[in-house]
A = this chain, B = another copy of it.
């Protein structure tokens, strides 16, 4: 309960919500997905400040990805950038990424917060 309360507070105050939109070189598609899945799994298991990280691939354009990311705070985001699992993903996939847009967004109905199952 305490954790749930903290998350709710965080989501209403200093959370960072972002969409990462990527196009991946089709030659590396399988490998990229493997790196991405591992990075997401590790972040959700190890980082309480990563509230949501939800990677999606397009059905009709399988090399196009959108990742919804919600961080508890700017500090939580900066911590995420320094984790071994994020660095492994980032450095391991740099040559696979044809384009990357990082789009800061805000939820229009923040009273309906998103929660993500944290453990397999």
Question: Which residues of chain A have a CB within 8 Å of any CB of chain B?
Answer: 17, 19, 33, 36-37, 40-41, 44, 52, 54-60, 65-66, 68, 103-109, 111-118, 120
Contacts and interface: CB of A to CB of B under 8 A. Distances in A.
Given A112-B40, A112-B54, A59 B118 contact: no
Which of A54, A59, A120 is packed against the most chain B CB atoms within 10 Å?
A54
Contacts of A59: 103-106
B108 A60 contact: no
Contacts of A19: 56, 66
Contacts of A113: 116-117
Nearest to A45: B112
A119 to B, nearest CB: 8
